[in-house]
């Protein structure tokens, strides 16, 4: 059958099936199950009205159960089983999880996912907020927003191909087509190299470390003030430990900037450099998600009452004070939503790593690890166990988003 005709038939059957379902289900409910006649007419009408919403919800609940609920249960079952020679499977309990936790590749994937979780949501949200604020202050802001948002229309694989060309390296005696190597070969160790590769990274790391230290100080003050619930204290303590770890890593990175011996004049295979290649992969996702963050945060900034900004100006506040002390607190809820949404994308990141490095050179992530186990090693037990780990990591963020959404509705 012609694809266009098949699509048309599918639409007709789908729409017609939905209309037929709702019509006949209501007919059966009103005429046969709870008929509006006889001495029980009033009660039957009330009962029918109580059941009717579930008739409308049933197709969606059935589809969600079939395409979401059942796969979760089946994945959990597979994670507790193992293939046996001759076909079939046997129950092995938590053996697959023990095997997974004993593999260095799994912990490499966990470490990289945590690194992605720290860098990508923070950078995407920060760049999106900066773009939203600046584009609202220029005459051609609408065009700038369109250009920044454009990467959202590109698939992850397409963006990966683009950046793979940017990171491309050819032998030293050939002309470089990769932009990064073309720029890199212009550094020779002089003043330009010092400014771009030593001083600028130092300033960026110091700015990041200062921001982390300030956030840690605010948390310490809040913990010392007391009056918080036990759960909040535990959460703040964990966050404080994370900030201290980030501060320590920043200082280590600062030392590394000055002690590293850079190979000037030699083309670099950027995607094969351990640790740094993870950041080169993150740039792709940051490039894509910045547009999403900008659009949402721009709408939030436009929703801030002008009276509060005007009052701050009258009181003598400078633009930085207005932005950080007036605007940011009023859109903090939107910032959290954007942050958590990007976090969900990061936890499931697969396409970029698969297309650019396939998890080689210490770039493995959980989704790619799961793919390798399921479809390359044909090990459904460990593969399903890793899928359950991803679901466990994603679930608290989903619950948090639902909780905040209901809280705002109330």
Q: Note whether 160 and 355 are within 8 A (CB).
A: yes
| 281-310 pLDDT, tens digit each | 999 999 999 988 998 888 888 888 888 888
- For 275, the token pair is 């640790």
Indicate the pTM of the whole model. 0.77
Counting every residue written for the chain, the total comes to: 410
List per-block mean pLDDT (blocks of 10 residues) for the chain, which spans 410 residues: 81 86 86 80 84 86 84 86 76 85 88 86 88 82 84 87 87 80 81 83 85 82 73 75 82 82 80 84 91 88 83 81 81 83 86 88 88 84 87 80 70
CA distance 338 to 296: 7
Closest CA to 281 of 396, 363, 187, 158: 363
Buried b / exposed e over 128-150, threshold 16 CB at 10 Å, is bbebbbebeeeeeeeebbeebbe
Closest CA to 247 of 275, 213, 200: 213
In CATH, which of 1.10.760.10, 1.10.3720.10, 1.10.10.10, 1.20.810.10 is domain 103-179+269-409? 1.10.3720.10
User: Domain extents for the chain?
Assistant: 3-79, 103-179+269-409, 186-264
CA distance 130 to 146: 15
Strand partners, 82: 90
């Amino acid at each position: 059958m012609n694809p266009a005709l098949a699509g048309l038939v599918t639409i007709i059957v789908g729409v017609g099936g939905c209309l037929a379902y709702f019509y006949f289900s209501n007919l059966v409910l009103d005429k046969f199950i709870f008929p509006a006649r006889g001495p029980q007419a009033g009660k039957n009408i009330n009962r029918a009205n109580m059941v009717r919403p579930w008739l409308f919800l049933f197709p969606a609940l059935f589809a969600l159960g079939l395409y979401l609920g059942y796969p979760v249960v089946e994945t959990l079952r597979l994670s507790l089983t193992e293939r046996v020679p001759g076909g079939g499977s046997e129950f092995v309990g938590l053996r697959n999880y023990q095997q997974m936790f004993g593999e260095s590749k799994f912990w490499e994937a966990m470490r990289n996912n945590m690194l992605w979780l720290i860098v990508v949501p923070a950078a995407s949200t920060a760049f999106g907020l900066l773009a939203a604020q600046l584009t609202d202050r220029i005459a051609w802001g609408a065009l700038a927003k369109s250009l920044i948002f454009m990467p959202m229309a590109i698939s992850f694989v397409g963006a990966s191909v683009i950046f793979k060309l940017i990171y491309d390296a050819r032998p030293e005696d050939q002309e470089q087509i990769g932009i990064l190597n073309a720029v890199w070969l212009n550094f020779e160790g002089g003043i330009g190299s010092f400014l771009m590769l030593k001083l600028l990274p130092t300033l960026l790391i110091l700015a990041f470390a200062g921001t982390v230290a300030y956030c840690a100080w605010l948390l310490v003050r809040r913990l010392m003030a007391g009056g918080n619930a036990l759960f909040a204290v535990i959460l703040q303590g964990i966050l404080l430990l994370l900030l201290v770890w980030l501060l320590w890593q920043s200082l280590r990175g600062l030392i590394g900037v000055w002690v590293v011996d850079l190979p000037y004049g030699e083309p670099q295979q950027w995607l094969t450099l351990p640790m740094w290649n993870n950041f080169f992969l993150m740039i792709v996702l940051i490039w894509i998600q910045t547009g999403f963050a900008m659009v949402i945060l721009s709408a939030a900034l436009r929703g801030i009452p002008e009276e509060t900004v005007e009052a701050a100006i009258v009181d003598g506040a400078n633009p930085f004070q207005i932005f950080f002390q007036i605007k940011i607190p009023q859109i903090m809820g939107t910032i959290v939503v954007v942050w958590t949404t990007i976090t969900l994308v990061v936890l499931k990141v697969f396409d970029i790593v698969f297309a650019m490095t396939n998890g080689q050179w210490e770039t493995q992530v959980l989704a790619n690890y799961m793919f390798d186990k399921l479809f390359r090693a044909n090990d459904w037990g460990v593969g399903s166990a890793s899928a359950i780990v991803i679901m466990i990591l994603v679930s608290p963020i989903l619950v948090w988003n639902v909780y905040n959404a209901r809280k705002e509705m109330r």
